Structure 1
């Protein structure tokens, strides 16, 4: 899914978006803002690579992080939901939040295999996550995460 289609759908609906990333390290927000016209919809992104930042910056529940680790569906959901308020402009939260958290390798993390990824999506009261099982190199997993996050975001906007 090209980012232009996602940005176009967001602009068409007059929606803003905020991005919270871990394993993708800014690649997702970079892909979105590479699209001309993205400034009308993309508020910004947070790279919370260190697990502690997921709590201190994004407000992910500390008990959840302690129990499940950073690679978890509920963590992805909280990241996507809470980044909307973290990146509020003039007191107005973003309409849409999206997040990525997972294991790009080379080693497993929090008992999760390399290639285990969660994409969180939040719009209005709807908050969900998608689990991905990806294969390949660290770079391939990160790139595939960005591509699939765009697909899932587009589906949410069209649904």
Structure 2
């Protein structure tokens, strides 16, 4: 079975990054992740998300997988796949293990399995969960729908 690893990174090998280019927000990344999730689901490929090379890894529970060392070593070889090209790249890539980053788009509604996958992926680590809990306590609110945290943005 082919394995596709979505590597959440800000350092791709084929796009020069600076303050304007090559740095994708969480929304861009989630969009690409959902796209690749559904491509893998359609093709019956194993799908793994690796966050070790992104600052968000400081806040989320780390998910171990059997390719951690491969992705650690490939840090400077992760390609950015431009929107509209992800499926072809995944299919045409001859290796049994394919890694990539994209902000490609998925235009359909997402199902409950994908929502559960994302919810699990965005589980805060213990330290960040404590921070969240303390912030919520400090807000003196009983119920809420959405609390928005800006990560890495200086306001």
* Larger relative contact order (CA 8 Å, sep ≥ 6): 2
The two structures have a TM-score, normalised by structure 2, of 0.28
Select the structure that is richer in strand: 1
The two structures have a TM-score, normalised by structure 1, of 0.28
